[in-house]
Structure 1
Amino acid sequence: MYEPLDPIRREVRLLQLIGGSDDGPIQCSLRTVSLDETDLEFATLSYVWGDESITRDVLVEGHPRAVTANLESALRNFWRYFTENGVSISIRCDLVSSIVDEPNGVTGLRRYLSSEDCDLHHESDADEGTDSEDERGADGTSNKPSVKDRLFVRRIIAAGHRARVGGGYLPIWVDALCINQGDPAEKNKQIHMMQEIFTKAGCVFSWLGPSGHNNLDLALSAIRKLAVRVRDGYSISQLNQDYPELCAMHSDLPPFNKYWQAISNFAEAEYFERSWIFQELWAAADSDETIFLCGDEHLPMGSLTRYRAWADSLLTQRSDDTPLFGRFIPIFPLITQIYGMKAGRENAVGATRLFLDIVRRSRCKNPRDKVFALFRIFRMGLTPDYTMPVADVYAAWASDSSQDLPLGSLIFYSGIGLYPRTLGTHNLASWQPDFERLGDQTSWCDAVYAYRHSDAGTPAKYKPTISPTRYLTCFGVQVTKVGKVASQAGKKIVDYTNVTRGMIMDYALNSTSMILLLKYLVDNKGRFWTHAYHERGSPLHALVETVNECTHGGDPPTLGLLGDTLREFTPYNLFMKALTVRDGPSNFTVDELKFLGFQSEEKLWECLAGMSSNPKDDDGFNPATEPSEGQENALLGFVSRLLNFSFNKNLFHTVDGRVGGGPPGTETHDLVYLIHGCSLPVLLREVEGKLRHVGVCYIPGLSGVDVFRILKESESDVRELSLV
């Protein structure tokens, strides 16, 4: 069925639908063409493969071919759309073509087709909206086609493309069928051409699933109607006037009604999580004929981007008097990133940071596709090769000239102490980010710290390098080592074997891990609650700073946490706030109380209240007074971060008495190094005479700008390190 393709002619195969039936398979044929043909006209299909264990047969050149159920539903949708609408759609397209250049021709046709007695009427013709004021002259006449006219023409053309695919008049490129998936050499060559395939396509269809799937068809319809009116400056009050149904509050919690629920489902759809989607939409972003499909509904990309620009503009308009639902309007971050890259804005913050952000959020079947799906967009000097070991693909990315992240910052995204760590699966070096698991292992905080301090001041002789044998050579100085792991992150014991869609936070386990931290605080009350516990530099202040930094990122939220505010961080108050933020009963369970060392809840509160009843301090502050709103917010914020910390980080003490937070795999005797090019301390472990990277950690006084100061002061002690 698959004849060899000629790479010199840059040949590709296109799929042509030739028939079908309600109770039989869809029938297709394959046509080989060259991308260099001047009159070549075709469409492409962008979709999620779905569960590969659930398949349906299609007939390709008369031979049954098993494809995923999601792909079969897309092909069947094209065929059914043609059989039900092909004739009327063809006439509508001819009418548009005949009058599109006539003055007010589209407006007249739009009114005719939207009338109920018109045989060619389609419900989308009646989408509400009037022409935008900014597109009319001072005398009220139209200087150019109105928004409504332009969107109307796009809908007609989109429907025409859809019907032509279903009738076999417009061939379509579908990766699963147009690439011989059993030929790695052909797959390598075709993937190298994918960006051009999507760029040259006259139309890109983005298939979201059959009608009713997560109400995505309702989302497409709602956004299509909104796109007619929304523009920069379009307010929530105007929205309420034009579309009161969108502003109805059917729930006290976001997204408040079925329309915003559907749009939220769309913004968070599995479709946008697929690694290849970014390249496919990026290549087709400049086309007005990129069309989202769900069942019978459709949405041109132009309408989505118009909505997206408006939703994004609301971020700067929102204020305290903005209606609650107006603060939760989905903004489609992936679409925002794509258009930001197209405009050159995203590159300002670093291409590699954006690459890692996409990798962290995306999924794919083959771990190599974490790199191959993006190599053309980020101008990597790589050639897709599915015979390469995964570790070699990731190493090639790390050493590629397009990679603008300082090599010292790579270790923010890697380490054998991260969980889940698939040791042995790909034979990754300890310093290599595991792109397959990156979304489970790292958070936005890691990215913030990786970029907070540049290594521009690192002497050339101390800049990290990668060897052909996958060693990371760096330079640093040992400052201390882990003396005791005080609490174990709950994340370490989560079973990830059945996790299929990113990280699933186990809140019950999160609550349990927080109990472990609370027990640690009770057991060490004499260490943390001394007479000067509220002062900067105290053990309690160091603990609060560690928890805040490990879970907050950005500017340290601890800077203003001094004096009176920190006085409210008593054991009693911490336990009270813990009950409000943890996911569980309103009181501690019997087992939890026993674990904490108390026979009853009364004994617990009696003990904690006694620890909090310090005498009046010399500065006249009475700890028994009612805390201010600012103190309450600071305490609640800390306890919320403590819950997060207890799940994701180990609390440890160093041999010289410092407190720190590290990855779930932190162990006693791990070495603490400061390394040139990295703004946080690095945990290293000696295994069989070789150094392995465990992960970055946070230790007050040894982090951020202190790293560079200490390295400069300790230049004579800097040694060369080879991480395996």
Structure 2
Amino acid sequence: MATVEPTLLYTQLQSTSLQIRLLKVRSGDVESGETQIVCDMDTVTFNHSLPKYTALSYTWGEAEPSITITVNGVRRGISSNLAAFLQQWIDCRRNSSRIIYVNGYLWIDALCINQEDEEEKSVQVSAMGRIFSSANATIAWLGVEAETSAIGLRYIREMARAIKATWSKGTVDFYRDLGTWFNRNPTLAEAIATLGTTQEPKFLLNNEIWDGILRIFQRDYWTRSWIQQEIVLSQVVYIWCGPNWAPMDDVRELERFLTDLRVEFGAKLDRDLNLSLWQDIIGEWRHPLVRDMLKRITHFTRLGTSIKQESSTDDLRFGLLHILEQACGSFKATDPRDKLYSLLGVVNLDFPPDYTQSTEHVYTEFTKTCLRGKHGLQFLSIAGPAAVNGPTGIHHLLLPSWVINWDALSCQTRPNSRAALFAK
């Protein structure tokens, strides 16, 4: 595939005020690797007259671009995943099948940031929080459609609608009324509890509906570190998978509902009450796939709550340990520096990104920043050498013993006594 020098496409952005580039897709088709996608890209100043735009949250996919598009008359290589999104955007504009405005500008990091200019990239990454929070909407692009993705996203919407219309934890007696409540809500009954000839509810985790829902949350998209601030800071998020969609708010509604049921069922069991017919449902909701899905969604909710709370700087730094440990340990980044840079929009730390510095330097300086303050010593509980469990994709770095290897948190095992020492 022919490539072009980035300097042919990008002009230098102003340093006196924040500027960003916005993309407008004019036309195009992708067939058998050939593309005729044509885009215009404009530079705008980040102020009150900023035009409406939609931000894209997605995975880059393969390292080498495989498809060429035309931007401002210049041929530019992009990944097949990004090309699939652009094609879907064009198709939706043709048939008006979406609920958001698809004729306006797009902000896409791979195209709107000159990835070859480390200084520009540092400035733009530091502004990512503002870029996503100022967008009219954000699209969480999961990739092309799979066999069960359509029914999964459709039932997320329908179940959320039924939950909003009829569910109130304070008015439902889980022991006495739950079976009746399910029967009055056929959408939820079909997805959660299928009634047989004996009218006994049987939870079918492997039915088509739940297979579709769970597979949506097993996609690589949900392991990407950058999506944390992209989802949490956005005004509105729509999940797209091929031509199918669901609002992120509906996902949160489903998560709250299932969490309520799990908690209430657990409380009934603790009181030795006989839940009779609902035992199978309780067991299935404890399935690892369901638990992992709920854990992932709950993380976004808690992250959003933490940045909205009005706390002192010290209180924020104390809670920062949990936020960073969870975020760096559960999500992945191709560039290990992005384990930290991807969170700067949601943590209260003055630490500007600098892609001209090495990973070791960035991790050392960030650890210093965390250590300063009243609760800084808490961070030493996750610092220093650690054992790595099995083959991993982490980067082996030469770091001082007191510096945290943020890239390896998901793979580290540490003595319980050491963590307990700093927890006192």
User: Structure 1 380/19 Cα, relative in aligned 2: closer, same or farther at 3 Å?
Assistant: same
Is the 1:406–1:455 Cα contact (8 Å) retained in structure 2? no
Give, in angstroms, the shift of residue 51 of structure 1: 2.2
Give yes or no for the alignment of 1:439 onto 2:419. no
Give yes or no for the alignment of 1:220 onto 2:189. no
Give yes or no for the alignment of 1:337 onto 2:302. no
Is the 2:149–2:213 Cα contact (8 Å) retained in structure 1? yes
- Matched with 1:324 is 280
Is the 2:194–2:203 Cα contact (8 Å) retained in structure 1? no
Q: Which amino acid aligns with 1:225?
A: E
- Matched with 1:461 is none
Counterparts of residues 285-300 of structure 1 (less than 5 Å): 287=235, 289-300=236-247
Aligned-partner Cα distance in 2 for 1:353–1:305: 21
Q: Which amino acid aligns with 2:24?
A: Q
Q: Which amino acid aligns with 1:202?
A: N
Give yes or no for the alignment of 1:78 onto 2:89. yes
Q: Which amino acid aligns with 2:153?
A: L
Aligned-partner Cα distance in 1 for 2:230–2:59: 12
User: Structure 1 54/305 Cα, relative in aligned 2: closer, same or farther at 3 Å?
Assistant: same
SS in 2 for 1:17: strand
User: Structure 1 74/409 Cα, relative in aligned 2: closer, same or farther at 3 Å?
Assistant: same
- Matched with 2:349 is 380
Is the 2:57–2:141 Cα contact (8 Å) retained in structure 1? yes
Aligned-partner Cα distance in 2 for 1:67–1:432: 36
Is the 1:43–1:171 Cα contact (8 Å) retained in structure 2? yes
Is the 1:380–1:402 Cα contact (8 Å) retained in structure 2? no
How many residues align? The count is 371
Deviations 1:10-48 (A, max 9, x none): 110001000113533311110111110335211100011
Give, in angstroms, the shift of residue 290 of structure 1: 1.4
User: Structure 1 315/426 Cα, relative in aligned 2: closer, same or farther at 3 Å?
Assistant: same
Aligned-partner Cα distance in 1 for 2:321–2:415: 11
Deviations 1:534-564 (A, max 9, x none): xxxxxxxxxxxxxxxxxxxxxxxxxxxxxxx
- Matched with 2:75 is 64
Is the 2:23–2:39 Cα contact (8 Å) retained in structure 1? yes
Aligned-partner Cα distance in 2 for 1:63–1:179: 15
Decide which structure has the larger Cα Rg and report it: 1
Deviations 1:335-394 (A, max 9, x none): 323322333499798221221111011111100001111123111221100111111111
Give, in angstroms, the shift of residue 201 of structure 1: 0.4
Give yes or no for the alignment of 1:256 onto 2:206. yes
Give, in angstroms, the shift of residue 448 of structure 1: 7.6
- Matched with 1:265 is 215
- Matched with 2:117 is 183
Counterparts of residues 13-32 of structure 1 (less than 5 Å): 13-23=21-31, 24-32=35-43
Is the 1:391–1:426 Cα contact (8 Å) retained in structure 2? yes
Is the 1:255–1:325 Cα contact (8 Å) retained in structure 2? no
Q: Which amino acid aligns with 1:227?
A: A
More off after superposition, 59-68 vs 240-249: 240-249
Is the 2:58–2:221 Cα contact (8 Å) retained in structure 1? yes
Deviations 1:575-609 (A, max 9, x none): xxxxxxxxxxxxxxxxxxxxxxxxxxxxxxxxxxx
Aligned-partner Cα distance in 2 for 1:38–1:264: 41
- Matched with 2:6 is none
Counterparts of residues 43-442 of structure 1 (less than 5 Å): 43-53=54-64, 55-83=66-94, 85-86=95-96, 159-161=99-101, 164=102, 169-212=103-146, 215-230=148-163, 231-233=167-169, 237=179, 238-239=181-182, 241-243=185-187, 244-246=189-191, 247-248=193-194, 255-284=205-234, 287=235, 289-319=236-266, 320=269, 321=275, 322-326=278-282, 327-328=285-286, 329=290, 332-344=294-306, 350-401=319-370, 406-407=376-377, 410-415=380-385, 417-419=387-389, 425-442=396-413
- Matched with 1:619 is none
SS in 2 for 1:387: coil
The alignment-based identity, stated in percent, is 23
Aligned-partner Cα distance in 1 for 2:86–2:128: 20
User: Structure 1 3/374 Cα, relative in aligned 2: closer, same or farther at 3 Å?
Assistant: same
SS in 2 for 1:256: coil
Aligned-partner Cα distance in 2 for 1:317–1:403: 42
Is the 1:415–1:432 Cα contact (8 Å) retained in structure 2? no
Aligned-partner Cα distance in 1 for 2:151–2:372: 41
Aligned-partner Cα distance in 2 for 1:271–1:254: 26
RMSD after superposition: 3.1
- Matched with 1:608 is none
Give, in angstroms, the shift of residue 449 of structure 1: 6.4
Q: Which structure would you say has the larger RCO, counting Cα contacts within 8 Å and 6 or more residues apart?
A: 2
User: Structure 1 334/34 Cα, relative in aligned 2: closer, same or farther at 3 Å?
Assistant: farther
Q: Which amino acid aligns with 2:380?
A: L
User: Structure 1 411/343 Cα, relative in aligned 2: closer, same or farther at 3 Å?
Assistant: closer
User: Structure 1 264/402 Cα, relative in aligned 2: closer, same or farther at 3 Å?
Assistant: farther
Q: Which amino acid aligns with 1:338?
A: F
More off after superposition, 394-403 vs 343-352: 343-352
Aligned-partner Cα distance in 2 for 1:257–1:422: 34
User: Structure 1 196/68 Cα, relative in aligned 2: closer, same or farther at 3 Å?
Assistant: same
Aligned-partner Cα distance in 1 for 2:83–2:14: 28
Deviations 1:462-510 (A, max 9, x none): xxxxxxxxxxxxxxxxxxxxxxxxxxxxxxxxxxxxxxxxxxxxxxxxx
